[in-house]
Structure 1
Amino acid sequence: NANKYPLDETISYGCLHTLKINPAYPLWKTCALTDQVKVYSIHHQAAGKLPKTLTPMAWSSDKKVIEAVAHAKYKNVLGIQFHPEQSALYNPQIKQFLNQGDKQTLARVIASDAVTTYFLQSFWNEMVNRLRN
């Protein structure tokens, strides 16, 4: 709903932001996700009412946008709104800047943030482990 979640005209292509999390979710413990971790988002759309089988596990810092859901029955099913796969997070050669005129690339910001770097590495390790098992 565009009126409920309007685009912020000051945001360049995507943004880094923190989350509010449900600390009881096992994946967040495994990956050391805290409210200090920065995640990358592009979307201006968000999930509305969820079915009973999905439980919110993370929200935007203002709790207006659901950022992650877990399935009640299938423990390996996770839905996330943020983008840990964005290659600009990992490759400083990709010149994707945070804001208009800001020369800090996403990769440089992430590389200088040990908490976020650890979360991303742990997240991908856990995803690989889940695929193998």
Structure 2
Amino acid sequence: MRRQVISHGSRLAAGGPIVASLMIRDPMTVTPELSLAELADAVFLKHGISFVPVIENEVLLGYVDARIVQKIDLENRTTTIVDDVVESTNKDNTVCYGSTAVELMDTVKRTGRRKFLVADRQKLVGVITLSDLTSVLTISDGIE
């Protein structure tokens, strides 16, 4: 019978490494009043990213990504602000700081998403992507 073994470094954990040890800390963030034109130019293009958390008064509101911005006509991006299109935090796009890798993989399977906000009491603590997770997981075959 095949089984998956999830290891992080030399440590083997029943649930896998916790999200806190894998996430990107202190990601770039934007505020809700930023225009989509500014977001596209000053964040997405300048920094080569496509996903950014939205913060107001240190409270995590959600995120906006390039896919959302692309749906807005070019001529409307200067008058449309992030707050108009922000994807609010919810159980499908936000994971808890202490979640395990297995819990995150379950969320990936359930939602089909590849990028997640990492929160602790409505505060952003990082972001994590499927690439972050798979880069540290070692999957091997074994016999039970």
Superposed pair shares fold, TM > 0.5: no
Kindly indicate whether structure 1 or structure 2 has the higher relative contact order, using CA contacts under 8 Å at least 6 residues apart.
Answer: 2
Which TM-score applies when normalising by structure 2? 0.29
Larger % of helix: which? 2
Larger % of strand: which? 2
Which TM-score applies when normalising by structure 1? 0.30
